[in-house]
Each structure stands twice: as C-alpha cells, then as structure tokens.
Amino acid sequence: MEKSKKPGLSRLVYTILFLIVGRLVSIVVCFAAIIQFIYSFVFAEPNKKILDFTSSLAEFAKQIVSYVGQNSEKKPWPLGEEWPKASK
C-alpha cells in the first residue's frame, strides 16, 4: 500500500494565498461583466477584448480551483504556470 503524500505547510500557505486571489478574481469578473453589459448596451455587440480577457480569467479561476481542491500540484500563475490563453 502506497503512502499518500501529506500536504505540508507550504501547500497550506499557497492554498490560503490562492483562495484570496480567487476572491479577487470574482470581484474582477463582476466589474468586467458590468463594463461588458454597458458596452453591449451602447454598441449592440460585446467587446472582443473583454470577451478574451474574461475567457482567460475563467481559465485562471479553473487553475486556482484545481490547485486549491488538490486536483493539481501545478501552481497557478504567477507562481507556476503562464497566464492562461483565452479558450476559443
């Protein structure tokens, strides 16, 4: 029977850090959604740059959830991976 690796103190610190970052991401998403709504209302179409940004932000949030939920050992940006690209 294999011994599972116990998460250490550094994992706890990074998890707390990324929980805080995750909360900040949700605030940024709220602002982006409001700006996108106003832009769409005024110009009758969504802003492509905001669409790309929120898409990459969603991928970043996914990386955070995977790390915090211990589904991945890869630390999200800026500590591990590059900033995620917008998914098409």
How many domains does the chain divide into?
Answer: 1
The predicted structure's pLDDT at residue 71: 87
Residue 55 lies in a domain: yes
Please state, in angstroms and rounded to a whole number, the distance separating the CA atoms of residues 88 and 47. 15
CA dihedral 80, 81, 82, 85 (to 10 degrees): -150
pTM score: 0.79
Asked whether residue 82 carries a pLDDT value surpassing 60, the answer given is yes
Q: How sure is the predictor about 22, in pLDDT bands with cuts at 50, 70 and 90? A: very high
CA dihedral 80, 2, 12, 22 (to 10 degrees): 50
Which domain does 48 fall in, by range? 12-68
